[in-house]
């Protein structure tokens, strides 16, 4: 079973094989987490994404990661053209991102809180949907061994921590020990 952890900080700083970027169907990376990824990694990421677009809601496409420590950016299409999202779109995009990662032989991947910024989706609900989708996808054979939920701020961290606890298999719950260094600053 893959290791899942929470990290409070900038997804662009993580040294993982792939980072997930929330994407609209057009695949332009102008604002939010996608804009941060573009600024940190360079325009090459957006150019490579747009050349593959438009994409369908719930799909995922991969591009080079430019100057980022990751080698791949997986664009999870979780936003409509109007930049709004829904539970089913977040679920499908998270699942597609993991399937894309497995197809590329990715072993470590970082996810942001899909749909909760410009998508306007409630944080607690997005956390439950994303964590459940990731846990479910990881029950299938995959190359993914490590998933990091890269979050910004105490509210996001707490929402994902709660979702992880609620979806933890019963046999593993007694093994959960909070790490002193894992909480939000």
Q: Domains of the chain: which residue ranges?
A: 3-169
The C-alpha atoms of residue 143 and residue 165 are separated, in whole angstroms, by 24
At residue 185 the predicted structure's pLDDT band, cuts being 50, 70 and 90, is very low
**Per residue in 141-172, pLDDT tens?**
899 999 999 999 999 999 999 999 998 764 44
| pLDDT tens per residue, range 44-86 | 999 999 999 999 999 999 999 999 999 999 999 999 877 789 9
pLDDT band at 40 (very low <50, low <70, confident <90, very high): very high
The per-residue pLDDT for 31 is: 87
Top-tier CATH class for 3-169: alpha beta
Tokens of 183: 């909480």
Contact criterion met (CB below 8 Å) for 15 and 67: no
Q: What is the pLDDT of residue 5?
A: 95
Name which of 3, 8, 1, 17 is nearest 110 in CA terms: 17
Q: What is the pLDDT of residue 181?
A: 47
For the beta carbon of residue 152, count every other beta carbon within 10 angstroms: 18
State the average pLDDT for the chain: 90
pLDDT at res. 169: 65
pLDDT at 83: 76
Query: Which of 79, 61, 78, 77 minimizes the C-alpha distance to 18?
Result: 61
The confidence band for 179, taking pLDDT boundaries of 50, 70 and 90, is very low
Instruction: Please state, in angstroms and rounded to a whole number, the distance separating the CA atoms of residues 108 and 98.
Output: 10
pLDDT at 116: 93
- Both tokens of residue 89? 């779109």
Question: Rounded CA gap, 115 and 108, in Å?
Answer: 21
Report the SS3 class of residue 79: strand
């Amino acid at each position: 079973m893959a290791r899942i952890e929470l990290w409070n900080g900038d997804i662009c700083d993580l040294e993982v094989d792939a980072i997930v970027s929330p994407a609209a169907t057009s695949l332009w990376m102008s604002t939010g987490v996608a804009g941060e990824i573009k600024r940190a990694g360079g325009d090459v990421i957006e150019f490579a994404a747009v050349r593959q677009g438009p994409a369908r809601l719930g799909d995922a496409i991969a591009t080079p990661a430019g100057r980022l420590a990751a080698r791949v950016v997986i664009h999870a299409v979780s936003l409509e053209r109007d930049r709004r999202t829904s539970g089913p779109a977040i679920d499908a995009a998270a699942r597609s991102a993991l399937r894309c990662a497995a197809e590329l032989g990715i072993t470590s991947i970082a996810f942001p809180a899909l749909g909760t910024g410009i998508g306007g989706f409630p944080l607690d609900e997005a956390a439950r949907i994303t964590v459940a989708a990731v846990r479910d996808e990881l029950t299938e054979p995959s190359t993914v061994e490590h998933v990091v939920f890269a979050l910004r701020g105490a509210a996001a961290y707490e929402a994902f921590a709660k979702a992880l606890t609620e979806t933890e298999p019963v046999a593993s719950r007694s093994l959960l020990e909070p790490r002193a260094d894992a909480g939000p600053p």
